[in-house]
A and B are shown apart, each in its own frame.
Chain A
Amino acid sequence: MNTDDLIDFLATRVEAVDPGRQDRLLTLAMAGSLCLAALACIFALGVRPDLLRAMGTFDFVLKVGFLAAMVAIAAHGLRRAARAGRASGKLLRLALLPLALVWFAAVMQIVATPATSGMATMFNDWFVCVLAIPLLSVIPLVVLTLVLRETAPTDLHYCGALLGLVAGGIGALAYASFCVNDAPVYVGIWYAAGLAIVTGFGWLTGPRFLKW
């Protein structure tokens, strides 16, 4: 086929397209999958009994703030990574900042409180946490992958990792409505591990699921 003929063909009766639609769809998919994941968590596990009281504590606010910051940073990166030809890489490092804050709070708490009480809660149900976050993140992973299929990411490992971090963060936010462990030490280790698992999964499977 002659390239000029192809251009003729493509340039006949061109339809208008909406370049803003992709970002709106991504935002909608994230909000929707957060609601779905939260519902799934409430039905499967229940709501923590002391939710209202916990919402006023520093530890809970730090936990939710940490997760929300991770999702926001990764979502920003994902919007860029879903478009061809954007320089990539630096954004994932920015995600270390909220993590560093949580670890700092954890160290402060360990220093301030007697070692016994802090350490006792550290391994409470840790496996539920590390398991539930990846499981709940399946919902955002699937929904966002469907949206990303219409986009044009060119660095599939990187885009997959960001997708994993967004999905892991959404899964963890949903899980936070059930989990009673708010201590920064706990969040800094087990929640971070849950996010890392989903991010790693995204990095590994990006080339397979995001290929276009």
Chain B
Amino acid sequence: MSREPDLEALMRASQSGDAEAHRALLQHVSVRLRSYFRNRLRRSGAGTDDAEDLVQDTLLVLHTKRHTYDGSSPVLAWTYGIARYKLIDHLRLNARALRNVQIDEMDDLADVDRYEAVDTSRELHRALDTLPRHFRLPIEYVKIEGLSIAEAAARIGMTDAAVKIGIHRGMKKLAALLSEARP
């Protein structure tokens, strides 16, 4: 990799709606995140298998919470703050899952549901399918097919504002779904 790009400038551009800057930012940050999670997981004695899931979880948070970055600290400090939060959450859930298996596998029905969810919702599309129509269609048309807000609105028969809200709320739901599915 060449020199580190100006992540703060990329973030400012991404916040003002520049998709290419957003992509570049996520790409650069994902490299850092990958080595961060691998190191931390190895050091905590857990396997590094979950590192990629954590990278993706964190990218989803960076995306859905990008309005909370205000330039008062470096982008990487902000990113590692979120990454650390996700890592602690992950280790805690893992410890709980282990304990539950050791004591009584049938103990908690809610947790059984959760394990089943793991197998089915690894894929983005599967998670997307569980969303209600007014979240799913805007995301499918705009975020996957790349239609503009207006085009998607016309095709679904929703207003522009409703499409925007659908994307915003749906992405948050999706982020929650994807990270919940990984105990």
Which residues of A are at the interface with B, using a C-beta cutoff of 8 A?
A: 1, 3, 5-23, 80, 82-86, 151-152, 154
Assess whether B144 is in contact with A6, with CB atoms less than 8 Å apart: no
Q: Is the interface of A mostly helix, strand, loop or mixed?
A: loop
Of all chain B residues, which has the CB nearest A11? B23
Q: What's the Cα separation between A27 and B70 when bound, in Å?
A: 16
17 new A-B contacts, CB < 8 A, other than A6-B56, A15-B168, are: A1-B123, A3-B59, A7-B27, A7-B59, A8-B23, A10-B26, A10-B59, A10-B143, A12-B144, A13-B142, A13-B143, A14-B18, A15-B17, A22-B70, A84-B68, A86-B77, A154-B84
A12's partner among B16, B67, B84, B146 (CB-CB below 8 A) is B146
Residues of B within 8 A of A5 (CB): 124
The 9 A-B pairs at the shortest CB distance, nearest first, are namely A85-B81, A84-B81, A11-B23, A16-B17, A17-B67, A85-B78, A85-B77, A154-B85, A14-B19
Q: Tell me which of B81, B143, B147, B149 contacts A9 (CB under 8 A).
A: B143
8 Å CB contacts to A: which residues of B49-98? 52, 55-56, 59-61, 63, 65-73, 77-82, 84-85
Contact, CB under 8 Å: A154 / B82: yes
B164 is an interface residue with CB less than 8 A from chain A: yes
- Among B67, B78, B123, point to the contact of A22 (Cβ < 8 A): B67
Residues 1-24 of B, flagged 1 when their CB comes within 8 A of A and 0 if not, give 000000000000011111110110
Distance of A154 Cα from B81 Cα, bound (Å)? 7
Q: Does B48 contact A (CB under 8 A)?
A: no
- Cα of A184 to Cα of B68 in the assembled complex, Å: 40
Give me the interface of B with A, judged by CB distance under 8 Å.
14-20, 22-23, 26-27, 30, 52, 55-56, 59-61, 63, 65-73, 77-82, 84-85, 122-124, 142-144, 146-149, 164, 167-168
Residues of B within 8 A of A9 (CB): 124, 143-144
Q: A5-B124, A9-B143, A12-B143 are in contact. Are A85 and B26 (CB under 8 A)?
A: no
Q: What's the Cα separation between A133 and B67 when bound, in Å?
A: 34
- Inter-chain contact A152/B68, CB cutoff 8 Å: yes
> What are 24 A-B contacts defined by CB distance under 8 Å?
A1-B56, A3-B52, A3-B55, A3-B59, A5-B124, A7-B23, A10-B60, A10-B143, A12-B19, A12-B144, A13-B142, A13-B149, A14-B19, A14-B22, A15-B164, A16-B16, A18-B15, A19-B68, A20-B70, A82-B68, A84-B78, A84-B79, A84-B85, A152-B82
Closest to A7 in B: B26
Distance from B163 Cβ to chain A, minimum over Cβ atoms (Å): 10
Is A12 a contact partner of B122 (Cβ separation < 8 A)? no
Knowing A3-B30, A19-B71 are in contact, say whether A152-B124 is a contact too (CB < 8 A). Answer: no
Determine the chain B residues whose CB is within 8 A of the CB of A151 once the complex forms: 65, 68
List the A residue with the shortest CB-CB distance to B66.
Answer: A17
Instruction: Decide if B70 touches A23 in the complex (CB within 8 Å).
Output: yes
A6 to B167, CA, bound (A): 15
Q: With the chains together, A20 CA to B70 CA distance in Å?
A: 7
A17-B78 contact, Cβ under 8 Å, with A6-B124, A83-B68:
no
- A20, closest chain B residue (CB): B70
* Chain A residue at minimum C-beta to C-beta distance from B59: A6
Minimum CB–CB distance from B5 to chain A (whole Å) comes to 15
Tell me if B68 and A13 are in contact (CB < 8 A).
no
